[in-house]
């Protein structure tokens, strides 16, 4: 079973190495793309491994276990998409950004379905289980600045893509799909973090804080990628490439805290 301290150690090492590769591009055009593709593959694998552990640690197949299963399946599809993307870019030498959307994008898009189902399930479970659910109006008002900033960012970045007549329909849909479903996940994770914060500051809140952090980073990376790639200003080695490995590793930390929480109940 993965321990949070080990995951944080891996996170520090992987992100520092990723920053080095992005800054110095070792190996030039022949080796650099392969090195850049390793980080999201490795990070998504670690996240999938930890999520499987979180799912497996729950003995009773109830709504909580089903929710973690859905999140695991979503991240497992992310891992598959990262592998497909790397194969096309590093082995077949396809410019995957210009070929956008690719098979990898369709796998990524499919991954959000179980992720959203898992988040919705756990929210429903908390509301029906008799736990404190809090006041949703307090949650909404406390997050008003976040919603306002998100609205401005989405208006500035996504509206030009939506009204661009030169962008093909499928590409336009894909550009818009990622940040919009990311925002849906982020709102759900934020709501869970608010509900669980009512229990105090134990392991349960750490899990949802990390999951929310992972979705925040993923949303920002997807939002910036959609805009930069649409405008022709994205190149491999952009600093937003660090965002996806970081988001996966934060999700891995969330799963590790969940495993630790379950173990604490067993002793």
**What letter would DSSP give residue 122?**
H
User: Tell me, what's the pLDDT at 53?
Assistant: 94
Sign of CA dihedral 232, 238, 239, 244: positive
Distance, in Å, from the CA atom of 44 to the CA atom of 61, rounded to the nearest integer, reads 25
Angle made by CA atoms 210, 216, 219, in degrees to the nearest 5: 140
Provide mean pLDDT across the span 59-73. Answer: 91
Is a pLDDT exceeding 90 seen at residue 155?
A: no
**Residue 242 and residue 15 in contact, taking contact as beta carbons nearer than 8 Å:** yes
Q: Residue 131 has what pLDDT?
A: 54
122 vs 145, which has greater pLDDT? 122
Q: In the chain, what are the domain boundaries?
A: 4-266
Average pLDDT along the chain = 86
Average pLDDT over residues 28-46: 91
8 A C-beta contact, residue 174 and residue 105: yes
User: SS3 of 92, please?
Assistant: coil
Residues 11 and 47 sit within 8 Å (Cβ to Cβ): no
> Contact 207/258 with Cβ under 8 angstroms?
yes
Mean pLDDT over residues 159-183, rounded?
A: 90
- Measure the CA–CA gap between 226 and 174, rounded to whole angstroms: 8
More reliable by pLDDT, 259 or 62? 259
Give 225-237 pLDDT, tens digit per residue.
988 988 888 887 7
- Nearest to residue 246, comparing CAs of 2, 43, 42? 43
User: What pLDDT is stored for residue 76 in this prediction?
Assistant: 98
pLDDT tens digit string along 71-108?
999 999 999 999 999 999 888 988 888 888 999 999 99
4-266, which class in CATH? mainly alpha
Between CA 120 and CA 110 the distance in angstroms is 16
Mean pLDDT over 165-174 rounds to: 92
Structure tokens at 5: 């301290």
What percentage of the chain has pLDDT greater than the value 90?
Answer: 45
- Full-model pTM: 0.90
Whether the predicted pLDDT of 140 surpasses 80: no
Q: Phi and psi (nearest 5°) for 107?
A: -70, -45
């Amino acid at each position: 079973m993965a321990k949070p301290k080990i995951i944080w150690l891996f996170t520090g090492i992987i992100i520092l190495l990723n920053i080095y590769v992005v800054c110095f591009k070792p190996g030039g055009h022949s080796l650099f793309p392969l090195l850049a593709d390793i980080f999201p593959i490795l990070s998504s694998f670690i996240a999938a491994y930890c999520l499987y552990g979180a799912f497996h640690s729950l003995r009773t197949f109830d709504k909580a276990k089903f929710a973690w299963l859905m999140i695991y399946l979503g991240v497992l599809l992310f891992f598959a998409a990262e592998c497909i993307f790397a194969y096309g870019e590093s082995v077949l030498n396809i410019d995957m950004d210009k070929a956008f959307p690719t098979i990898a994008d369709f796998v990524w898009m499919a991954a959000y379905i179980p992720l959203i189902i898992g988040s919705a399930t756990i929210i429903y479970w908390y509301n029906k289980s008799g736990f404190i659910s809090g006041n949703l109006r307090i949650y909404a008002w406390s997050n008003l600045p976040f919603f306002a900033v998100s609205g401005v960012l989405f208006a500035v970045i996504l509206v030009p893509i939506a009204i661009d007549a030169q962008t093909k329909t499928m590409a336009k849909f894909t550009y818009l799909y990622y940040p919009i479903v990311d925002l849906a996940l982020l709102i759900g994770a934020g709501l869970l973090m608010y509900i669980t914060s009512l229990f105090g500051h134990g392991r349960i809140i750490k899990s949802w804080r990390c999951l929310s952090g992972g979705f925040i980073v993923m949303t920002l990376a997807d939002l910036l990628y959609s805009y930069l790639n649409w405008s022709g200003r994205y190149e491999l080695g952009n600093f937003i490439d660090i965002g996806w490995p970081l988001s996966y590793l934060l999700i891995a930390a969330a799963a590790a805290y969940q495993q630790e929480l379950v173990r604490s109940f067993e002793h």
